[in-house]
Amino acid sequence: MNHSDLNDKLKIRLTAPLPEWAKSGVVALSCMPGVEILASADPLTPDVILHYGDHVGMACQQYGYGKLGFWYFRWAGSDSDAVAAARCSAAVSLALEVGLWARYPDGRCECLYQSFGFLEPFAIKRSVRNTLVKAAFFPARVVAVYFRRSALPLCNAETVAIEPSFFVACYAEVKAILQKIVRKLFYKEQWFVVAGIGNDQCPVAPGKWHLDPGPDRFWADPFILEYEERRWVFVEELPYSTWRGYLSVIELFSDGSHSESRPVIVTDKHLSYPFMFTWKGDLYMVPESGSARNLVLWKCESFPERWQQVAVLLTNVYAADATLIEFQGYWWMFIAVAHEGACIHDELHVYFADSPLGPWQAHSDNPVKSDARNARPAGNMFVEDGVLYRPAQDCSTEYGKATVLNRVDRLDTESFSETPVARLDSHWHKDFLRTHTLSRSQNLWAIDGYRLIPRWRSTK
């Protein structure tokens, strides 16, 4: 469908007043070549009435319907305001659902886009602000699909039914805030690593190696590697004294012990997620450095401690946990990406290229998933019996709440779908409160776990 001509543009009328959070989304719409934003007094009949605010029924009565309906937002499966919906969702430990819907004159209502966002039970309003930044762009995403396919996308919306009372929801919020205060005052949050032998889809606890970082730091994001008949784990190492992460390596010994950690990449930016892959006989790493807004590729010059920057794969992007794999004729990059001010846990983007050096092309459906329950990458992908599997984080109500293993059902340059098939959470290991990384090599696996340690524990 050609929307380049003025008379053929998709005409959108906004309801008033326009909330502050919606303005970035309106800018994105107005920058699309095939879109015209109508002034409130414009006599032209709009294709879409777009309502970013509350009081949906009243707005629909006032503005009527466009040719493609009256578009509006729903929260947690209802027409309640975002904060109330978030409180009710947090009370039952659910991610914050938000959907863009279309209402038609015949009474039909259809979901055009649905997302599940990270929801911190002790920070409801902050979670809502982050989700609003993301939601502002839903209309532009729907319009982009409409231009490509000449039809509105119809989302098979997941049913959300949340019914705690106002008092129950407020009690749950107060309880979560008090619990957070107690944890901050008396405990330190620590990630540690468990590793073992085997190649099952879901490793069997407790593992052969238990890597304890000591009380003054944590080790997270383990990537395990078999190299020249020795076993290694690369981790994010973060001392509490600086709260800036760098990348370290630990050798695993056959008797179940391990070496001390040794720094391998240290920069003036926080580093984490030392994802590695081999290409043409060389070892490469793509660490996360979200604050740098660039994705840098490193090449190993002398294993394990000397690495050299060789390429910048993506620029000017707020992204995390890039994970690459060569599969069915392409190199694929799976990466969490967010708009400035939105939550990095919520949305998965895919890029593809002929080589890991790029150039990388964005998938036409980006973000291919908008679901904090299993979007953000959580370790290296693997192929088993010709099927691609992808670990992802469950960040529905806690960062790194669990690791979900997804079976990729379809992956090409035009489409993507996957299905959760397994889950590792606090029940997997007696010492785990959370887990957010699962990595595998040919014969080994590594998982990180989250625990609380008393602040009075010695730091020596």
**How confident is the model over 384-395, as pLDDT tens digits?**
999 999 999 999
Q: Which residue is it, tokens 């009527």?
A: 64
- Does the pLDDT value for residue 257 go beyond 60? yes
Strand partners, 15: none
pLDDT value at position 154? 85
Confidence of residue 6 (pLDDT cuts 50, 70, 90): very low
Token pair recorded at residue 305: 């401690």
pLDDT value at position 457? 73
Tally of helices (H runs) and strands (E runs) in the chain: 6, 27
Q: How does strand 306-315 pair with strand 402-411?
A: unpaired
pLDDT value at position 294? 93
What structural domains and CATH numbers belong to the chain? 6-164 (3.40.50), 183-454 (2.115.10.20)
pLDDT value at position 458? 63
Torsion sign, CA atoms 19, 21, 25, 30 = positive
- For residues 82-106, give the mean pLDDT: 96
d(Cα 166, Cα 24) in Å, to the nearest integer?
31
pLDDT value at position 459? 53
d(Cα 393, Cα 321) in Å, to the nearest integer?
11
* pTM metric for this prediction: 0.95
pLDDT value at position 204? 84
Q: Tell me the pLDDT tens digit for each residue of 355-409.
A: 999 999 999 999 999 999 999 999 999 999 999 999 999 999 999 999 999 999 9
Token pair recorded at residue 313: 């794969």
d(Cα 14, Cα 140) in Å, to the nearest integer?
13
Confidence of residue 7 (pLDDT cuts 50, 70, 90): low
Q: Tell me the pLDDT tens digit for each residue of 145-158.
A: 999 999 999 899 99
Kindly report the number of other CB atoms within 10 A of residue 414's CB atom: 9
Q: Tell me the pLDDT tens digit for each residue of 78-93.
A: 888 999 999 999 999 9
Q: Tell me the pLDDT tens digit for each residue of 436-452.
A: 999 999 999 999 999 99
Token pair recorded at residue 416: 């993507």
- For residues 189-206, give the mean pLDDT: 92
Cβ 275 vs Cβ 380: under 8 Å: yes
Closest CA to 96 of 80, 119, 124: 119
CA angle (365, 368, 372) in 5-degree steps: 150
- For residues 2-18, give the mean pLDDT: 78
Confidence of residue 350 (pLDDT cuts 50, 70, 90): very high
